[in-house]
């Protein structure tokens, strides 16, 4: 425990963890330390963790129940692990748009873990944004407007669906539904911290409940711009063996597509979450 270091990488969110080998059994005291750090910093980064698939899954299970991604099949021997790949000839990358993972599910995931296997010589970073700060920075009038609103999220929104086309063509699940759609509070209350977070994203959110897309568009467009202001973000540069662990309930991410002609191979694990709950007006 005394060897573990927690090093914030920006003023908004993100901390790099040193002094730990997660391939070994993580005891309860260390697990508690990591979870507290995760809840405080929203995304944790670990370097030099060349985990086997079995070790990766064992570490993930210490934090929650692993669930499978609805559109793409996992590894043959470890179906819970999704390969996130961009080949050298491909132009569009998987997840290359600001989003919270699978917000179109009735029960979206609590968290995701991403492990770097092969990275380009430069580029391929991932951006993260703090949705607590995005909510806190809104005017009181906007907070009142959003307090009782829910938003419809769909898996079919064009910008997001394009980013998964290559992987579906390669490893698409036969049991996937054509469209997944769910309505969630625009202002989400985190079940562990009690803090309010902005819970809409440009990749999946279509409109507000009870409104048309045209009526919703101006406010959503403002929120999409607002929630990724530079002062709410951090940027992580990958190396082989780097591991990121983020909280989908209060953070968004965006995989930067700036490495044309190079491969990028990652492994992703997703952890089960809960039905999002909102806050009553004035709470």
Q: Which residues are CB-neighbours of 69 under 8 A, at least 6 positions away?
A: 82, 102, 268, 270
- Give the HSE-up count for residue 113: Cα atoms under 13 Å, Cβ half-sphere: 29
What pLDDT, on a 0 to 100 scale, did the predictor assign at position 95?
Answer: 80
pLDDT band (50, 70, 90) for residue 72: confident
Residue identified by tokens 């391929």 is 124
Catalytic residue among 41, 164, 253, 264: 253
Q: Which residues are CB-neighbours of 250 under 8 A, at least 6 positions away?
A: 42, 130, 131, 132, 188, 190, 193, 195, 197
262 is catalytic: no
99 with 201: CB under 8 angstroms? yes
Q: How far apart are the first and last CA of the chain?
A: 38
183-222 pLDDT, tens digit per residue, is 999 999 999 999 999 999 999 999 999 999 999 999 999 9
Catalytic residue among 101, 188, 204, 207: 101
Q: Which residues are CB-neighbours of 276 under 8 A, at least 6 positions away?
A: 108, 184, 185, 188, 199, 249
What pLDDT, on a 0 to 100 scale, did the predictor assign at position 96?
Answer: 87
Which of residues 89 and 56 earns the better pLDDT score?
56
- For CA atoms 134, 139, 144, 149, the dihedral sign is negative
99 is catalytic: yes
Structural domains of the chain in order of their starting residue, each with its CATH number: 5-271 (3.60.130.10)
Mean pLDDT of 254-275: 95
Q: Is the pLDDT of residue 227 over 70?
A: yes
Percent of the chain with pLDDT strictly greater than 90: 79
Residue identified by tokens 């692993």 is 66
105-137 pLDDT, tens digit per residue, is 999 999 999 999 999 999 999 999 999 999 999
Which of residues 76 and 248 earns the better pLDDT score?
248
pLDDT band (50, 70, 90) for residue 280: low
3 is catalytic: no
pLDDT band (50, 70, 90) for residue 59: very high
Among 195, 94, 209, 191, smallest CA distance to 146 is for 209
pLDDT band (50, 70, 90) for residue 179: confident
CA distances from 152 to 54, 111, 144 (A): 36, 21, 19
What pLDDT, on a 0 to 100 scale, did the predictor assign at position 282?
Answer: 41
Q: Is the pLDDT of residue 164 over 60?
A: no
Mean pLDDT of 63-90: 88
The CA distance from 51 to 59, in Å, is: 9
Mean pLDDT of 82-98: 88
What are the b/e assignments for 27-39, b being 16+ CB within 10 Å? eeebeebbeebbe
Quick one: residue 222, left, alpha or beta (phi over 0 = left, psi -120 to 50 = alpha)?
Answer: alpha
The CA distance from 46 to 4, in Å, is: 11
The mean-pLDDT minimum among 46-50, 56-60, 135-139, 277-281 falls in 277-281
25 is catalytic: no
pLDDT band (50, 70, 90) for residue 283: very low
């Amino acid at each position: 425990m005394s060897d573990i270091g927690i090093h914030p990488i920006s003023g908004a969110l993100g901390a790099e963890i040193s002094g730990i080998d997660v391939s070994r059994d993580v005891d309860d005291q260390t697990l508690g330390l990591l979870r507290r750090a995760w809840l405080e910093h929203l995304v944790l980064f670990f370097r030099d963790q060349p985990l086997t698939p079995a070790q990766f899954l064992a570490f993930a299970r210490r934090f929650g129940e692993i669930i499978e991604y609805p559109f793409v099949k996992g590894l043959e021997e470890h179906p819970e692990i999704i390969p996130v790949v961009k080949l050298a000839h491909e132009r569009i990358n998987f997840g290359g748009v600001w989003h919270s993972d699978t917000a179109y599910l009735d029960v979206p995931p609590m968290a995701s873990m991403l492990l770097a296997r092969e990275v380009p010589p430069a580029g391929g970073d991932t951006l993260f944004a703090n949705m607590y700060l995005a909510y806190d920075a809104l005017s009181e009038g906007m907070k009142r407007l959003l307090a009782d609103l829910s938003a419809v999220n769909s898996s079919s929104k064009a910008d997001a669906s394009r980013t998964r086309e290559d992987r579906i063509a390669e490893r698409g699940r036969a049991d996937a539904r054509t469209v997944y759609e769910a309505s969630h509070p625009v202002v989400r209350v985190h079940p562990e911290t009690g803090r309010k977070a902005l819970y809409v994203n440009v990749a999946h959110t279509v409109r507000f409940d009870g409104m048309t897309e045209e009526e919703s568009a101006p406010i959503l467009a403002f929120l999409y711009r607002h929630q990724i202001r530079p002062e709410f973000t951090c940027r992580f540069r990958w190396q082989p063996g780097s591991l990121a662990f983020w909280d989908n309930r209060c953070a968004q991410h965006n995989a930067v597509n700036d490495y044309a002609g190079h491969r990028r191979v990652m492994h992703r694990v997703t952890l089960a979450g809960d039905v999002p709950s909102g806050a009553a007006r004035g709470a």
